[in-house]
Structure 1
């Protein structure tokens, strides 16, 4: 299985979910409950293994974390 950094390098996109959660003192479990996305799927996103994300999911995560898309997803 490829390393998460390799996946991020391939897509050119890095997800800062772990950093934003830490800044807000929020757990992945709490975020999962707020946005209605499984912990497993959020973990895939957090570890830069996601190949796609629904706009509705992206919007829900940004709302729960009170952030903009550009704070969550950045070019790597």
Structure 2
């Protein structure tokens, strides 16, 4: 089981670049990049709330739960 970050999809839908999102939510562009790639172990609720506010979305729009394949 894992959580998949689909932030890049939402950014594309909103026609926004990572750099602009980073500036609006107050984190570095590098941290946005790490979040987009799923290379982070967690995200603060405060940061998630800021992202959702700026992108006018819900957490479920940028985070997905993926079950392990029981046969894999």
Q: TM-score range by the shorter chain?
A: 0.7 to 0.9
Kindly indicate which of the two structures has a greater share of residues assigned to helix: 1
Give the greater-gyration-radius structure (CA).
2
TM-score between the two structures when normalised by the length of structure 2:
0.87
Q: Which runs of 4+ in 1 moved over 2 A?
A: none
Return the structure number with greater relative CO, CA threshold 8 A, min gap 6: 2
Which runs of 5 or more residues in structure 1 are unaligned? 1-10
Which runs of 5 or more residues in structure 2 are unaligned? 67-72
- What CA RMSD, in Å, does the superposition of the two structures yield over aligned residues? 0.9
TM-score between the two structures when normalised by the length of structure 1:
0.83
